[in-house]
Amino acid sequence: MYTFTEENYLKAIYHLSENTKKGAATNAIAERLNTKAASVTDMLKKLSDKKLLVYKKYQGVNLTDLGKTVAIKTVRKHRLWEVFLVNKLEFGWEEVHEIAEQLEHIQSTKLTDKLDEFLAFPKYDPHGDPIPNKDLVFPNRTDQTLTECSLNDIVIVKGVKDTSADFLNYLKKLNLGLGEELEILEKEDYDNSMKVKINGGSLLNLSHQVCANLFVITK
């Protein structure tokens, strides 16, 4: 449907617009894609003709709904392949991006969805970035557990996955409740435990089991 290049442009513009309200700047796109501003201008006109984005000279660009859909589909594929490479093929999380940049352009919705299923519908990629589902909906941030957070993240405890009395009592014993702020100081590879700082004060070691049962939002 769309070319390799078109998908890369749309994904770059999508990421550049993620935080800011303003349209993506020509120079910023060029830098992200390791190309020249003049090439970007050429391409923006073509993508505009195809109704994938709205372009006004000198004003930067914004994706249309169609453009956003294509971009998010590409992000979905990219992140699913990264999960595959790390979880199934035992790649390191630092070496998968490059390969996923290629795999994200494979055209087959069925493949993407079967891969998603094979991976047990992961919500986050190896870098902690959220993976949109088949309907292109991103996971609710409150679905994220502490396990899925990255080193140095600062998060707020929003809920528990395990609602057993045992778990809740243990949390009380740790002085760990809803609304607490946690800073991830260490992630131990050996047993997936974490060292965290609570409310900028005391330190705590949390086992993998605890981390996996705490819903948090990233600050």
Partner DNA sequence: TGTAATATTTAGATTTGCCTAAATTTAAAC
Partner DNA sequence: GTTTAAATTTAGGCAAATCTAAATATTACA
Residues that bind a copy of itself (CB under 8 A): 85, 88-91, 95, 98-99, 102-103, 106-108, 110-111, 114-115, 118
Q: Which two tokens stand for residue 75?
A: 């992000």
Q: Where are the alpha helices (DSSP H) in 26-177?
A: 26-32, 37-49, 65-83, 97-103, 109-118, 165-173
Report the nearest approach of a copy of itself to the CB of residue 99 (Å).
5
55 binds, options DNA, Mn ion, a copy of itself, none, Cβ within 5 to 8 A by partner type: DNA
Residues 8-47 contacting DNA, CB under 7 A: 25-28, 33-46
Closer by beta carbon to a copy of itself, 91 or else 167: 91
Residue closest to 214 by CA, chosen among 164, 144, 153, 151: 144
- 38 touches, from Mn ion, DNA, a copy of itself, none (C-beta below 5 to 8 Å by class): DNA
3 binds DNA (CB under 7 A): yes
Strand-strand pairing, 154-160 and 214-218: antiparallel
Per CB under 7 A, 213 contacts DNA: no
Q: Does 69 bind DNA (CB under 7 A)?
A: no
Separation of alpha carbons 28 and 189, rounded Å: 36
- Backbone conformation region of residue 58, classed left if phi is above 0, alpha if psi is from -120 to 50, else beta: left
Binding residues (CB under 7 A) for DNA: these are: 3-6, 25-28, 33-46, 55, 57-60
